[in-house]
């Protein structure tokens, strides 16, 4: 899978902000990359991160398996979309700061996860806490 096979869209106006990732390749390929033991993972089994690139736009959205660190996929994401998602999620009431990650493999059966963490890294690989979504009580 290549990043070019993905498109991303942020809808910050929804009641719950939503990040949608669409895959243009063979749906089975993405489903296999997401699956753990043939099953769709729980939201807590996936980590979502964003890495700024030297050109800064688009940056790279990464979805990886928490236990192994293996990337399920990487997709391009405009920094303005990232900032909209983080701002909309941060405006929500304390304890209700989550967003929806909607993954559309291309077969009409999307996978939706409720997430409350999104780690943002600068071009040098340093965590940008100011632009990240880190729930209270979580230490990194």
Three-state secondary structure along 78-132? CHHHHHHHHHHHHCCCCCCCCEEEEEECCCCCCEEEEECCEEEECCCCCECHHHC
> What's the mean pLDDT in 99-108?
96
Q: Is residue 138 part of a domain?
A: no
Q: Is residue 48 part of a domain?
A: yes
Q: For residue 37, is pLDDT > 90? A: no
Tell me the pairing of strands 6-11 and 18-23: antiparallel
Confidence of residue 13 (pLDDT cuts 50, 70, 90): confident
Between 56 and 91, name the one with better pLDDT.
91
Confidence of residue 97 (pLDDT cuts 50, 70, 90): very high
Percent share of the chain, pLDDT over 70: 96
Q: Is residue 78 part of a domain?
A: yes
Number of residues in the chain:
140
Q: Is residue 137 part of a domain?
A: no
Of 40, 110, 122, which Cα lies nearest the Cα of 82?
122
**C-beta neighbour count of 133 within 10 angstroms:** 20
| 16 within 8 A of 98, measured Cβ to Cβ | yes
- Rounded to 5 degrees, φ, ψ at 21 are -120, 120
Confidence of residue 95 (pLDDT cuts 50, 70, 90): confident
Tell me the pairing of strands 99-104 and 18-23: parallel
| 82 within 8 A of 21, measured Cβ to Cβ | no
Q: Is residue 100 part of a domain?
A: yes
Q: Is residue 140 part of a domain?
A: no
Of 18, 36, 1, which Cα lies nearest the Cα of 84?
18
Domain hosting 122: range is 3-131
As for how many domains the chain has, the answer is 1
- The per-residue pLDDT for range 55-90, each reduced to its tens digit, is 768 999 999 999 999 999 999 999 999 999 999 999
Confidence of residue 46 (pLDDT cuts 50, 70, 90): very high
Q: Is residue 139 part of a domain?
A: no
Q: Is residue 17 part of a domain?
A: yes
């Amino acid at each position: 899978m290549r990043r070019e096979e993905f498109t991303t869209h942020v809808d910050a106006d929804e009641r719950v902000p939503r990040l949608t990732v669409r895959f243009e390749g063979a749906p089975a390929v993405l489903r296999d990359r997401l699956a753990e033991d043939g099953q769709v993972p729980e939201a807590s089994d996936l980590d979502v991160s964003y890495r700024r690139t030297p050109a800064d736009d688009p940056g790279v959205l990464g979805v990886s398996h928490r236990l192994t660190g293996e990337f399920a996929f990487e997709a391009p994401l405009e920094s303005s979309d990232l900032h909209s998602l983080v701002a909309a999620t941060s405006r929500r009431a304390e304890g209700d700061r989550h967003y929806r990650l909607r993954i559309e493999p291309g077969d009409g059966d999307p996978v939706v996860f409720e997430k409350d963490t999104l780690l943002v890294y600068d071009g040098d690989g340093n965590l940008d806490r100011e632009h990240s979504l880190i729930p209270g009580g979580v230490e990194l």
